[in-house]
Amino acid sequence: MKAHFYVEAANLKDIEAALGETKDKAKAVLKAAINNAAKQIDKQMINETKKTYRYQRGQSGSVANTVEELKRANTLKKAKVKDLSAAVVVKGATSELLGFRVSPTLYVPGGGYPEWYKASVRRGESMKRVALRPGAAGDKYKAFIVRYKSGHYALAQRVPGKRMKSNPHKEAIKSLLSISAPKAEEIAYRDGIEDDVHDILQRSIQEQMRRLTGGGS
């Protein structure tokens, strides 16, 4: 999955008039301002997403999505003088549920699992039992933590009616998924950042103009 969040050109003529400079100089100011604003928005998007969702810091190989991987999902497409727009590009597959708040985080080789595993993805939400059909599935399709041959851990369930290729006598296993970084950041951007983008860009433009005219560091 991929999502783009754009920071685009403001009124170039207003900057020219304020600076008393050529259009090329004004474009350079605007380019720097847009890129600076995009960096701020990128950082805010990650922080807002961490405040909205219960991402965990997992040990190496223990979970599919950690706070560190959330940061790596983002890249900046910088503005240029010939293209006065920047974008925060967010890429990432659907995240695994074990990368969020799960209790207990206990892997039991060979069975003997806890009575229930509970999970919560968004902050403020209560922990809920993870089962295929809560209240109807019984014990057979409760979640459990599995360690794959690769060493990767996941919160998983059996798949009704589907057999393992390696052992047809057993039902197949699927890792439980939640929300992708692009979708999580889209929600965090819409709810906590989008209304402030114009003000962030305007402050960045003013800062760049002060730098050019010797009014700032």
Q: Which of 31-45, 78-92, 137-151, 174-188 has the lowest mean pLDDT?
A: 137-151
Mean pLDDT value of segment 36-58: 89
Q: Which helix (H) or strand (E) holds 207?
A: helix 197-213
Question: How far apart, in Å, are the Cα atoms of 82 and each of 86, 94, 130?
Answer: 12, 35, 52
- The more confidently predicted of residues 131 and 164 is 164
Average pLDDT score over the chain: 82
- The more confidently predicted of residues 6 and 143 is 143
Cis upstream peptide for 182 (omega within 30°):
no
Give 38: exposed, middle or buried? Use CB within 10 Å, 0-12, 13-18, 19+. Answer: buried
Q: Name the pLDDT band for 63 (thresholds 50, 70, 90).
A: very low
Q: Which helix (H) or strand (E) holds 197?
A: helix 197-213
* Alpha helix segments (H runs only) across 53-114: 67-72
Residue 60 has pLDDT above 50, yes or no: no
Confidence at residue 59, expressed as pLDDT on a 0 to 100 scale: 45
Q: Name the pLDDT band for 121 (thresholds 50, 70, 90).
A: very high
Mean pLDDT value of segment 146-167: 86
- The more confidently predicted of residues 84 and 112 is 84
pTM value is: 0.80
Q: Name the pLDDT band for 66 (thresholds 50, 70, 90).
A: low
